[in-house]
């Protein structure tokens, strides 16, 4: 096995579009994935993330644009000549072959004979901790076990690139969380470039080096999980990654200050949105705090509201606060903070400096999963 730094392939998509008749599945998407990177394509269903994966795998041809894998154009190269591992949500194990034969299949196709083949099958099964199941048929395995075998089959021929299409989508939460860590470990050990498709933002945050957020056939933003959470560039990204409170209302600006009027109460921040777009205020749950009505300070933004939902999380509590204009704010508080019950009248307090201003975008409200 080569050293991790040389094993991964770079991927370069430039202005890739895919049309089905008049429907635009992908609209001028450009994305560069570095060798050995774990890139997640995140987005709601129908956003183009799976289309992008299928184009890289060779299952779908592009309508226009270019695609390089490992520095070479693969446009027109059929799937079976691309040497790319693919893991599917539906496992796609061959039901008429044992686990061992399934994993050996790509090696057999490449003319690799025993004993080398057997050793590599064993090594791949060892990597996913399934060595004891080689003689079983897929129908005798659980969903999680089948997916681990599918993973072994996709990595056994040492592809420089591994594509995964919602591989944990059909599994329950506990198993999913455990397999996420397993996938992370395998990525670290192999050094292969991983491209992972999911609609689950938590999964994306756990796994990825970088995340590309898809919406309506376009990429909204590419960045690390922290970048997407702290510095979202669009309202859609803000809403899709992490919990968020969006404040909307009649805006007014004076100097460098922006104010928004929410049911007669003004909230301000010493920031301005470049350009003439209508601003919306984004606040992450940990930037907000709650006090009983009238107990707040003076030099902060205060919005009155009522507790609509109180969720105990173990490590703290999560509250949904209904504001005067009926919009909802999400607040997370720590264990030692004051607790509230549903129906309590509260004040929502936040500092103007914690506000993130974003262009108000109708598109952000569509296609929420």
**Residue ranges binding another protein (CB under 8 A):** 57-59, 78-81, 83-86, 88, 90-92, 94-96, 105-106, 109-110, 137-139, 143, 153-154, 157, 170
Helix, strand and coil percent figures for the chain, each rounded to 5: 30, 35, 40
Least spacing, CB of residue 141 vs another protein, in Å:
11
- The encoded tokens of residue 364 equal 């952000």
Comparison of 190 and 235: residue with beta carbon closer to another protein: 190
Per the listing, tokens 């299409």 go with 165
Comparison of 108 and 114: residue with beta carbon closer to another protein: 108
Comparison of 88 and 200: residue with beta carbon closer to another protein: 88
Least spacing, CB of residue 122 vs another protein, in Å:
18
Least spacing, CB of residue 176 vs another protein, in Å:
16
Separation CA 236–CA 161 (nearest Å): 29
Least spacing, CB of residue 157 vs another protein, in Å:
7
Separation CA 327–CA 320 (nearest Å): 10
Least spacing, CB of residue 305 vs another protein, in Å:
42
Comparison of 91 and 236: residue with beta carbon closer to another protein: 91
Separation CA 173–CA 184 (nearest Å): 17
Separation CA 290–CA 243 (nearest Å): 16
Q: Is 91 helix (H, G, I), strand (E, B) or coil?
A: coil
Rounded to 10 degrees, the C-alpha dihedral 47/245/330/219 comes to: 20
Comparison of 14 and 110: residue with beta carbon closer to another protein: 110
């Amino acid at each position: 096995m080569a050293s991790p730094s040389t094993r991964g392939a770079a991927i370069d998509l430039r202005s890739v579009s895919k049309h089905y008749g008049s429907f635009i599945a992908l609209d001028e998407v450009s994305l560069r994935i570095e060798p050995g990177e774990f890139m997640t394509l995140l987005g709601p269903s129908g956003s183009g993330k799976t289309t992008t994966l299928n184009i890289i795998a060779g299952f779908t041809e592009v309508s226009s644009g270019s695609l390089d894998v490992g520095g070479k154009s693969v446009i027109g190269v059929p799937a079976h000549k691309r040497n790319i591992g693919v893991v599917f949500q539906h496992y796609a194990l061959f039901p008429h072959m044992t686990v061992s034969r399934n994993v050996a299949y790509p090696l057999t196709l490449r003319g690799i004979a025993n004993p080398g083949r057997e050793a590599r099958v064993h090594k791949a099964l060892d990597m996913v901790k399934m060595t004891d199941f080689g003689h079983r048929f897929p129908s005798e395995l659980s969903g999680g076990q089948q997916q681990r075998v599918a993973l072994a089959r996709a990595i056994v021929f040492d592809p420089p690139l591994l594509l995964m299409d919602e591989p944990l989508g059909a599994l329950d939460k506990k198993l999913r969380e455990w397999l996420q860590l397993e996938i992370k470990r395998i990525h670290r050990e192999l050094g292969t470039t991983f491209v992972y498709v999911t609609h689950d933002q938590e999964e994306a945050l756990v796994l990825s080096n970088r995340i590309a957020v898809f919406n309506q056939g376009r990429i909204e933003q590419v960045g690390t999980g922290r970048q997407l959470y702290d510095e979202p560039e669009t309202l859609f990204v803000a809403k899709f990654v992490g919990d968020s409170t969006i404040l909307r209302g009649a805006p007014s600006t004076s100097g460098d200050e922006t104010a928004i009027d929410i049911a007669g109460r003004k909230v301000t921040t010493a920031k301005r949105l470049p350009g003439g777009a209508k601003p919306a205020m984004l606040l992450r749950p940990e930037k907000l705090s709650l006090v009983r009505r009238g107990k707040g300070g003076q030099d902060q933004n205060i919005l009155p509201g009522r507790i609509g939902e109180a969720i105990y999380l173990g490590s703290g509590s999560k509250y949904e606060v209904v504001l005067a204009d009926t919009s909802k704010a999400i607040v997370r508080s720590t264990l030692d903070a004051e607790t509230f019950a549903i129906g309590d009248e509260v004040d929502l307090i936040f500092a103007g400096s914690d506000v993130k201003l974003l262009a108000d975008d109708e598109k952000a409200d569509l296609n929420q999963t």
